[in-house]
Amino acid sequence: MKSFKKELKKYCIYPSYHRIKVIEYLAKHKTHPTVDIIYQELLKEIPTLSKTTVYNTLKLFVEKGIVLVLAIDKNELRYDYNTIPHAHFKCEKCGGIYDIEIPEIESLIRLKDFKVIEFHLYIKGICKKCLTF
């Protein structure tokens, strides 16, 4: 928990218990969860937690650049603790979202005469696990 306190302070964010638990959850669960998923899981441990607190915490983390927001589907937002440029693959069968490392991705975001502020690459298909069933 101590390292998450340091990380939040580095971004000038007061490290409240709820904020620490949200960032800790994202770091441990690389499943690109939604607000609802995070809320439901943390509610088991923190019965006084509100969904608004989770939403506002994630909004702050996105604004500070600690977390990425993913809009792979039009009707839901997901959150990613990995802020290093990478692509995302969404399985149309199971709904899983996977990080995809692309070696050339750095050259894609270094465009001559442009300053890239945000970069998203979403790929949809069927994951390896679902293909075997």
Q: Where are the domains of the chain?
A: 2-67, 87-131
Residue 36: pLDDT band with limits 50, 70, 90: very high
Residue 97, SS3 per DSSP: strand
Q: How many residues does the chain have?
A: 133
* Cα gap 73→1, rounded to integer Å: 32
In this structure, are residues 13 and 60 in contact, taking their beta carbons and an 8 Å threshold? yes
Residue 1: pLDDT band with limits 50, 70, 90: low
Burial class (CB within 10 angstroms; exposed 0-12, middle 13-18, buried 19+) of 58 = buried
CATH architecture of the domain with range 2-67: Orthogonal Bundle (1.10)
At 116 the pLDDT is: 81
| Per-residue pLDDT tens digits for 59-115 | 999 999 999 999 988 888 999 999 888 999 999 999 999 999 888 877 777 777 888
| Per-residue pLDDT tens digits for 43-75 | 999 999 999 999 999 999 999 999 999 998 888
Torsion sign over Cα 101, 102, 106, 111: negative
* Cα gap 117→109, rounded to integer Å: 9
| Domain 87-131 superfamily per CATH | Ferric-uptake regulator, C-terminal dimerisarion domain (3.30.1490.190)
Query: Token digits for 7?
Result: 């990380």
In this structure, are residues 106 and 123 in contact, taking their beta carbons and an 8 Å threshold? no
DSSP annotation of 74 reads T
